[in-house]
Amino acid sequence: MKKYLLLPFLLVVFGAAGVLNSCKKDADSQPTVGTVSLELANMVGTQPLALDGTAYSTASGETFTVSTLKYYISNITFAKADGSTYAAPGEYHLIDASKSASTNFTVSKVPTGDYTGVSFVVGVDSTTTKGDPLALSGDLNPANAMYWAWATGHIFLKLEGTVTSASPNKALVCHIGGYRQPYSALVTAAPSFKGSTLQVRSGTTPKIRLSADVLKIFDGPTRFTLSSFPTTMMPSAASVQVAQNYAAGMFAVAGVQAN
Amino acid sequence: MRATHLLRTLRQPLAHWRLAALLALGGVVVASASCSKVASLELAVPGTEQPANFPAMVYNLAKNPPSAAAFELGKALFYDKRLSHDGTVSCGSCHQVAAAFAQPGFRFSPGVGGRPGARNAPALQNLRWRRSFMADGGVLGLELQALAPLTDAHEMSMPLADALARLNADTNYQQHFAAVYGPGKIDTPQFLRALAQFTASLTSANSRYDKYVRHEAGGEFTAQEVSGLAVFKAKCGGCHATDLFTDESFRNNGLDRTFARDSGRAHITSWPTDRGRFRVPSLRNVAATGPYMHDGRFATLAQVLAHYNHGVQPSATLDPLLRQPDGQLGITLTAQEQAGLLTFLNTLTDQAFLTDNRLGPPH
């Protein structure tokens, strides 16, 4: 009898030990990793963005002010010269021009090596945005006012302000989101390193300095005048055009620093 | 009996594996029960059982295990007007228990400042069996559903961050949330989880119809009700399917020819083929949930039947079930059939649910 009782007991104990052991093994088998810092400078053309009522001009001479600029950067992928990539899991960062701390963040556990490019989704992938609401905390928290309660999903980019060259002044309301065809606004930006190399080593924190130019939201594959720039608060053909604009040209690499 | 069986099992050569699995499973069950305390508290929360005549529950109870304390917290939130911008509207203002949590007398319920909403307030019942929410299916989870009326400018007009700030500033809520979810700030997950404890509990499964199909006492049908049920199954059951009385699909039931005011499902999907489609509503407690349709245009069930009989309007997205082979639109219903249907629909009224004090406003 005794030995029959002992066997299942041992099976359970070893089963549990096996689970613990496999976790440990995973950690051991990780390649050497480093941390990458990303820094965003929100700009309007060559001027730093201020939310204090400063009026900015477009190339065609229209003027506007900005009161809100917020956007998500997620699914960050680093590429090497040989074409191989590393996609950093679980990175969702809300950049809010009114919160300077939000414009700096780090991506840890990037395998060491020399990277020649970076890409990221401007927005939140559909799996996460539709996922378990009880996990929506931190930058993904619907309380950050970057969320469409009526259509379950995050707003990817929010630009608000006033077109001051319009008479009377016109509200600038640009809320871009939506992950469903035909009007999916999920876009990827891949600003060029322009020949620089991001050297990821354990023990150092290289930095990618990015600039984000608000003017490129209006001007890219589709050129909008501010007087006719559509008010967008739901997915539409225009919101996809705006998303394609900011994917194409809003983000530029201002520098890659070794440490 | 069990002990002898166990002994016999132990004597069998290959039985250790089964026993090991059993022991391991037992461990898991004990662990999860001690974490959530479901077993001891479940009975105190209304509507946790799976009615025998319902399809399988969609909602994952394990993710938000019912507890009496969380249910009471959710109920307090549901009936708290301070969760609206100007403190005049609670969830319970437009969702009243006596009307299966619809609002009688209003096509469009007034939100803050008396602003009318865009659609008729729907009944809230059996939400644990729903895959999506709202007449257009835009909301994909029961917890998330609360965010729509909370933040809509025509309803409670309350930014989520402001609602959380009000809760965090309230000593009672601080204590109540801490007792249920542990110490710390009240954040989105705790808030939505607590509200869903209440909304998920709203289960209506004890109408006379339920007792009739479950062969329970009090489930007697008159001859007219029996024939009304037969007409219903033949002519309405294509959309109002299962004992939830909806197939959860989105259909254009011919209310209008154009959809400029409310495009329904197309508002979410942007597909022209979804214009004018709205969720097929459940008909449970239908006698108590008027006015009817997404815009509350029909005050009575007789008007609804008249619409299907001779009021259906053509459009590109009209549901195929409302196009008869001879090209006629709608569902032909004789006066006798309509009378039978009306008596049958009244059997879907669940008085125990409509008068359940546990679900009404706290005193």
Q: What is the DSSP letter of B323?
A: B
Residue B176 region by backbone torsions, left for phi larger than 0, else alpha for psi between -120 and 50, else beta: alpha
3-state secondary structure of B126: coil
Instruction: List the single residue in B10, B17, B140 with the smallest CB-CB distance to A152.
Output: B140
| DSSP secondary structure string for all residues of B284-322 | TTGGGS-SBSTT--BSSHHHHHHIIIIIPPP-TTB-GGG
Mean pLDDT value across chain A: 90
Predicted local distance difference test score (pLDDT) of residue A135: 83
Is B12 a domain residue? no
CATH of the domain at B237: 1.10.760.10
Residues B196 and B157 in one domain: yes
Mean pLDDT value across chain B: 90
Predicted local distance difference test score (pLDDT) of residue A30: 53
B323 to chain A, minimum CA–CA distance in Å?
A: 29
**Cβ atoms of residues B181 and B24 within 8 Å:** no
Chain B CA closest to residue A153: B139
Greatest CA separation for chain B: 75
3-state secondary structure of A147: strand
Instruction: List the single residue in A11, A134, A145 with the smallest CB-CB distance to B192.
Output: A134
User: Is A133 part of the contact surface with chain B (CB cutoff 8 Å)?
Assistant: yes
Predicted local distance difference test score (pLDDT) of residue B144: 95
Q: Say if residue B120 is exposed, middle or buried (CB neighbours under 10 Å; 0-12, 13-18, 19+).
A: buried
% chain B with pLDDT above 90: 85
Domain termination site, one of B146, B171, B204: B204
Residues B283 and B195 in one domain: no
- Say whether pLDDT at B150 is over 80: yes
Residues B190 and B71 in one domain: yes
The DSSP bridge partners found for residue A94 are: A72
A258 pLDDT band, cuts 50/70/90, is confident
Q: Which H or E run contains A22?
A: helix A2-29
ipTM of the complex: 0.83
B48 pLDDT band, cuts 50/70/90, is confident
A9 pLDDT band, cuts 50/70/90, is very low
Residue B333 phi, psi (nearest 5): -135, 120
- Say whether pLDDT at B95 is over 80: yes
Residues B81 and B174 in one domain: yes
Residues B179 and B280 in one domain: no
Residues B118 and B178 in one domain: yes
What pLDDT, in 10s, does the model give residues A186-204? 999 999 999 999 999 999 9
A214 to chain B, minimum CA–CA distance in Å?
A: 26
Is B11 a domain residue? no
Average pLDDT over residues B199-223: 98
Which site among A152, A173, A183 would you substitute to test the B interface, given the most B Cβ atoms closer than 10 Å to its Cβ?
A: A152
Predicted local distance difference test score (pLDDT) of residue B18: 39
Residues B194 and B231 in one domain: no
Q: How many other C-beta atoms lie within 10 A of the C-beta of residue A187?
A: 19
Is B15 a domain residue? no
d(CA B95, CA B112): 15
Q: How many domains does chain B have?
A: 2
Contacts 24+ apart (CB under 8 A), B7-12: B10/A1, B10/A4, B10/A5, B11/A4
3-state secondary structure of A74: strand
What pLDDT, in 10s, does the model give residues A110-164? 999 999 999 999 999 999 999 888 888 899 999 999 999 999 999 999 999 999 9
Domain termination site, one of B181, B204, B227: B204
Residues B214 and B346 in one domain: yes
* Contact assignment for A4 to B10 by CB distance below 8 Å: yes
Domain termination site, one of B177, B204, B231: B204
Is B88 a domain residue? yes
In this structure, of B36-50, B130-144, B164-178, the range with the lowest mean pLDDT score is B36-50
What is the span of the domain harbouring residue B240? 208-352
Predicted local distance difference test score (pLDDT) of residue A7: 43
Prediction pTM value: 0.86
- Say whether pLDDT at B17 is over 70: no
What pLDDT, in 10s, does the model give residues B233-252? 999 999 999 999 999 999 99
Is B315 a domain residue? yes
Residues B91 and B182 in one domain: yes
Residues B154 and B234 in one domain: no
Which residues of A fall within a CB distance of 8 Å from B160?
A: 142-143, 145, 147
Residues B97 and B222 in one domain: no
d(CA A87, CA A77): 4
- Say whether pLDDT at A56 is over 80: yes
Predicted local distance difference test score (pLDDT) of residue A31: 66
* Contact assignment for A133 to B64 by CB distance below 8 Å: no
Which residues of B fall within a CB distance of 8 Å from A11?
A: 16-17, 20
What pLDDT, in 10s, does the model give residues B289-327? 999 999 999 999 999 999 999 999 999 999 999 999 999
- Say whether pLDDT at B16 is over 70: no
Q: Which of A239, A192, A243 minimizes the C-alpha distance to A72? A: A243
Is B357 a domain residue? no
* Contact assignment for B64 to A234 by CB distance below 8 Å: no
Is B260 a domain residue? yes
Q: Is the peptide bond before B116 cis (omega within 30 degrees of 0)?
A: no
Residues B246 and B276 in one domain: yes
- Say whether pLDDT at A22 is over 70: no
Instruction: List the single residue in B23, B161, B271 with the smallest CB-CB distance to A143.
Output: B161
In this structure, of A69-73, A251-255, B3-7, B87-91, the range with the lowest mean pLDDT score is B3-7
Distances (CA, A) of B81 to A75, B90, B266: 40, 4, 32
B142 to chain A, minimum CA–CA distance in Å?
A: 9
Is B258 a domain residue? yes
- Sign, CA dihedral A212-A216-A221-A222, equals positive
Sequence-distant (6+) residues with CB within 8 A of A97 are A42, A49, A51, A66, A68, A69, A70, A103
Average pLDDT over residues A46-75: 97
* Contact assignment for B188 to A142 by CB distance below 8 Å: yes
* Contact assignment for A149 to B148 by CB distance below 8 Å: yes
Chain B CA closest to residue A135: B189
Cα-trace Rg, chain B? 23
Instruction: List the single residue in A134, A145, A236 with the smallest CB-CB distance to B159.
Output: A145
